[in-house]
Amino acid sequence: MGFLRSALTSSLLLAGNSAAVDPIVMKGTKFFTKGGDQFFIKGVAYQQEAGGGPGGSSGSNKYVDPLADADVCKRDIPLLEKLGVNTIRTYAIDPKADHSECMQMLDKAGIYVVADMGEPALSINRDSPSWNVELFDRYKGVIDNLGKFDNVIGFFAGNEVTNNNTNTGASAFVKAATRDTKKYIADKMEKGGRWMGVGYAANDDAEIRIDMAQYFNCGEQKSAIDFWGYNIYSWCGKSSFTESGYDVQVKFFSNFSVPVFFAEYGCNTVGGADGRLWDDTTALYSDKMTDVFSGGIAYMFHEEKNDYGLVKVDGDKASTMKNYRVLQSKLADVKPSSTSMDSYNPTNSPAACPAISKEWQAAEILPPTPDSSLCDCMTKSLSCAPADSLNEKDFGDIFGYICENDAAACAGIKQDPKTGVYGPYSMCSPKQQLGHVLNAYYTNQNQDAKACKFDGAAQLVDSSEDSSCDAALKKADSAAEVAATATAGSATSDSTGDSTENAAAPSSVRMGSFMTMGDMAVSLYMLVAVGVGAGMVMM
């Protein structure tokens, strides 16, 4: 491929400023260098305690940015280069950190980056999914931070968010994130920026893998993924192309319209990490697969408790393991058949969207684009608002009472992925959502002062007039009225109900009846604020 070089010393890696890599672009189902050569990902997952691998979660909200410590990069990048990889995958980076030194070292080593945009404490949570202002700000921050480096191929909007048929609705939120981050990159391209892709990394669940791949590929392509990452661990020990099911994957994805690659691979169930033979690597770059798959990312660089590592790290020292040397040999031997960008003419078309079924519960219509200005306008317009002293843990009681007794007051924050019905304020913060619900309830009670007390949890406030908000608030009010009675989404997806898509909602926890607000019986609904801190009442 021309991207692998002999190992360099750390000082040489740091020398000079000229870029060593050619930016990657996408055409049809394949990646190419900007110069027109086909590009196959020969990658490795690179992040300690990342929450990747089978299961997709480390159980901790802590993470260490793998590209923010130049000393660590000086230690590891020569080993990455010797391994023969041309790509790394990171799972969580700090968008406020300086990554220039590590990215420059990677560039000089001929190594690209595919980066997940979330972090353990701020990502789309499968059990309480949301796509809101806070999340969008983080995703934009990652794009701004890494997007200035030519050796960034693109980003993952999510990793195994939907992982079985009980949480397929969460995919609507990931696809909304894909739509909005693609638009953010496209806007930058209009100002002279370059292409970077946005994709999704899926697990291999037999019940939903077809529906899920089709869902992220279907419909308007401005909302569809640019590439599909597949986390697959089916080739274990002495397996084969057919025994592993790789033949089934090739057959299915042969009709896919965007690049597909293994976002994680490397089963360790036979002999642990060092028992891996990496015959799956040989198969992945063979003629049986290269017309459909664009390579893969071996899991993983660091040896940890899960025993998937290639390298053992002890302080400032790193030592290669047996299976590092096996993979190194396999990568050195692969010679994938390729084509040039000029001679390649794509023929595949996007998939049809899957129907709503027992196994698939995400409608084609997506959640609204997060719009902080609309949330701010709504907050300024309130006459009844949460008390300044109210704690977020107490929001649930108020949401529960109001949404049980006046469902229309909660229509503005409604989210239902199955039907594709969303309120215009579903992307606001929990406190802003509560403000909207309190004010709607107060208004629906003919502005009775007693309807804005809730034992001191709510307060009357002076709303502020802002003519610049009038049009947006009017559209939002209309959208909330529709959401109050809708049983299926309409073709609207921006925050004020203007554009051509929409979709789902953070889920809720059903609880037994309880007494609050002066011994009033309240509903079974409870605000959920998991992971991203954005709760929702399921209508």
Catalytic residues: 160, 264
Residue tagged 């692998």 (tokens): 4
The letter for the amino acid at 91 is Y
71, exposed or middle or buried, with CB in 10 Å at 0-12, 13-18, 19+? exposed
Of 186, 120, 132, 194, nearest to 158 (Cα)? 120
Q: What is the DSSP letter of 109?
A: T
Torsion sign, CA atoms 423, 428, 430, 432: negative
Q: What share of the chain is helix, strand, coil (3-state, %, to 5)?
A: 30, 15, 55
Pairing of strands 415-416, 384-386: unpaired
Return d(Cα 266, Cα 334) in angstroms, integer.
17
Q: How large is the angle between the packed helices 170-190 and 209-217, nearest 10 degrees?
A: 30
Question: Using an 8 Å Cβ cutoff, are 312 and 321 in contact?
Answer: yes
> Are 127 and 167 a contacting pair, CB within 8 Å?
yes
Contact 66, 48 (CB under 8 A): yes
Torsion of CA 242, 248, 249, 252, to 10 degrees: 160
Of 95, 170, 176, nearest in space to 140 by CA: 95
CB 173 within 8 Å of CB 504: yes
Gap between the Cα atoms of 136 and 427, Å rounded: 10
Give the C-alpha separation, 130 to 125, whole Å.
Answer: 7
The encoded tokens of residue 52 equal: 């990747």
Rounded to a whole number of angstroms, the distance between the first and last alpha carbons of the chain is 54
Q: How far apart are CA 407 and CA 441, in angstroms?
A: 9
Cα–Cα distance, 484 to 439 (Å, whole number) = 16
Q: What is the DSSP code (8-state) at residue 459?
A: E
Give Cβ neighbours of residue 140 (< 8 Å, ≥ 6 apart): 181, 184
Q: In whole angstroms, what is the distance from residue 320 CA to residue 32 CA?
A: 31
H or E, element range at 252: helix 246-253
DSSP 323: H
Query: How many other β-carbons are positioned within 10 Å of the β-carbon of residue 314?
Result: 7
d(C-alpha 140, C-alpha 6), whole Å: 35
Bridge partners (DSSP) of residue 229 are 201, 261
